[in-house]
Amino acid sequence: MTQIPPAGTEAADILAALGCPLPATGRPSPIDGSALPAVPDCDSVDAAIARSVSAFEAWRSVPGPVRGQLVRLFGEALREHREALGRLVTIETGKPLSEGVGEVQEMIDICEFAVGLSRQLYGLTIASERPSHHMREMWHPLGPVAVISAFNFPVAVWAWNACLALVCGDSVLWKPSEKTPVTAWAVQSVFDKVAKDFGAPEALSQLVSGGREAGEALAADHRIPLVSATGSVPMGRAVATTVAARLGRSLLELGGNAATIVASSADLELALRAIAFGAAGTTGQRCTTMRRLIVHNSVYDTLLPRLKKAFGSLRIGDPRDPATLIGPMIDAQAVTAMGAALDRARAEGGTVTGGEAQGDCYVAPALVEMPAQSDLVREETFAPILYVLRYSEFDEAIAMQRDVPQGLSSSILTNDLREAEAFLSATGSDCGIANINMGTSGAEIGGAFGGEKETGGGRESGSDSWKVYMRRQTQNVNYGRTLPLAQGVEFDL
Ligand code: UN1
């Protein structure tokens, strides 16, 4: 491996090259503890919201396809800075370079999706029961949208929300995770340049960096009709409660605790790759990370030794080294939480393979063979821990998949058509995402992304997720000379 500079210095250099320099006096990089650039807190959330309202009032009258052109140019700028921004994601989060660049690609993908969408914001026409009447649905811009993003996808999940909100005619307020404000700062600065050249209203999208109070202020403010939040269940519960108290709308993407079932007919080569990436990829810090493996008795003893070997061979190290597959966790607290979960697992009779801490933020991914699903397994520990359980009957495996409070992603590895289709049926997986012969993570942007139960019920990104960023108006037109009333009601003067 060639000599790589301290992470903090490299991040500061990238910001300077992007034209948005910051001093390297911020939080420590998970890679080597060097100080990352320090992003200033937003000085007044109230003033930012007021600016966002003004921006919205101008932007909502710009035609949708013209709004799409701004997002097209933003996507082009992201493409131009793909490698630099990807490296910054890697430095700040610790995810390997190909995943850092992949995250920027995910932003570019949603830009392209949103550009097409900007010409497809269509409603319905509905048959009216009254003569000489037309009834239709029209979608209008909603207002300022707050986006609270998490550390693990510091920019892509914001982009899912922001790009759709912008083509829908909304303004955006972005509260990034306190753990990853640097990439947000850089992406916001790329956006600002594009928006200025385009002649977009000032403050159309703003960064509202800060601590918990900044998020709380956004959630509580009645000028914001929609708050989209990604993160932990407790955070989502706090946001949802505050937003609901003012009868606002929230869009939540919270904990996952995904399970994969390995059936007796599974292709074990494919299974090994799917499980390794699903459970250990991104050092177990995706909402979609595979956390539970439900293995049929007939393949358990063949699969497990191979899986242990595969997990043991995953290269752990500086995520900027192209050979690395497992970078550091986000911070030392995450490593402590992982250690505590493994201790609990041992106390419950679990057999742990791997899982050793290797310095401040680095860990080996852990496989934990558990006697049964327990409260520990039902909890989501945001770490590379894969709990392994056995099953003998298909229905038993489905019951285990469902038996957790979360419902984001799920998969089954099987070559049995009946099992695959049953998994996708109403009595199969209860998650927002259900995959056959692949892992649980790495969704494309084209589908609606989100899940049920404590995952929060929201849907972001593709399909018709755009509708949550708009308000629906039912319009009735009488083009006749009389006034017939619906339901045959008579009211003659
Ligand atoms: C998240 O972890 O919050 O499906 C988002 C995936 C990514 C997005 C994850 N495309 O794993």
Neighbours of 251 (CB within 10 A): 24
The atom of ligand 1 lying closest to the CA of 286 is 2
pLDDT (tens digit per residue) in 256-265? 999 999 999 9
Question: Residue 478: beta bridge partners?
Answer: 133
In angstroms, what is the span from residue 273 Cα to ligand 1's centroid?
18
Question: Residue 184: beta bridge partners?
Answer: none
In angstroms, what is the span from residue 441 Cα to ligand 1's centroid?
6
The atom of ligand 1 lying closest to the CA of 150 is 3
Tokens matching residue 455: 């995952």
Report the residue among 449, 455, 460, 465 best suited for mutation to probe ligand 1: largest number of ligand atoms under 8 A from its CB.
449
Give pLDDT, residue 144. Answer: 98
The atom of ligand 1 lying closest to the CA of 449 is 4
Range 424-451 average pLDDT:
98
d(CA 294, CA 104): 33
Cβ of 442 below 6 Å from ligand 1: yes
Burial class (CB in 10 A: 0-12, 13-18, 19+), 247: exposed
Which helix or strand (DSSP H or E) is residue 465 part of?
none
> Mean pLDDT across the chain, nearest whole number?
97
Q: Which of 441, 373, 397 is nearest to 263 (CA)?
A: 397
pLDDT confidence band for 447 (50 / 70 / 90): very high
Residues of the chain with CATH 3.40.309.10: 258-436
Residue 405 is classified by DSSP as S
Is residue 380 flagged as an active site residue?
no
- Which residues, at least 6 apart from 242, have a Cβ–Cβ distance to it below 8 Å? 216, 219, 220
The atom of ligand 1 lying closest to the CA of 289 is 11
pLDDT of residue 1 exceeding 90, the answer is no
User: Which CATH superfamily does the domain covering 258-436 fall into?
Assistant: Aldehyde Dehydrogenase; Chain A, domain 2 (3.40.309.10)
Q: How many residues does the chain have?
A: 493
Complete DSSP assignment for 176-212: --TT-HHHHHHHHHHHHHHHHHHTPPTTSEEE---SH
Cβ of 278 below 6 Å from ligand 1: no
Give pLDDT, residue 4. Answer: 87
CATH number of 7-254+456-473: 3.40.605.10
Give pLDDT, residue 254. Answer: 97
Alpha carbon nearest to ligand 1 atom 1, residue: 287
- Which residues, at least 6 apart from 360, have a Cβ–Cβ distance to it below 8 Å? 30, 33, 328, 332, 335
Dihedral sign from CA coordinates of 282, 449, 221, 241: negative
Cβ of 433 below 6 Å from ligand 1: no
Burial 199-236, CB ≥16 within 10 A → b, else e: ebbebbbbbbbbeeebbbbbbbbebbbbbbbbbebebb
pLDDT (tens digit per residue) in 381-421? 999 999 999 999 999 999 999 999 999 999 999 999 999 99
Cβ of 338 below 6 Å from ligand 1: no
Give pLDDT, residue 359. Answer: 87
Cβ of 414 below 6 Å from ligand 1: no
pLDDT of residue 34 exceeding 60, the answer is yes
Residues of the chain with CATH 3.40.605.10: 7-254+456-473
Is residue 361 flagged as an active site residue?
no
pLDDT confidence band for 115 (50 / 70 / 90): very high
pLDDT (tens digit per residue) in 121-139? 999 999 999 999 999 999 9
In angstroms, what is the span from residue 104 Cα to ligand 1's centroid?
13
In angstroms, what is the span from residue 353 Cα to ligand 1's centroid?
26
In angstroms, what is the span from residue 152 Cα to ligand 1's centroid?
8
Range 375-380 average pLDDT:
97
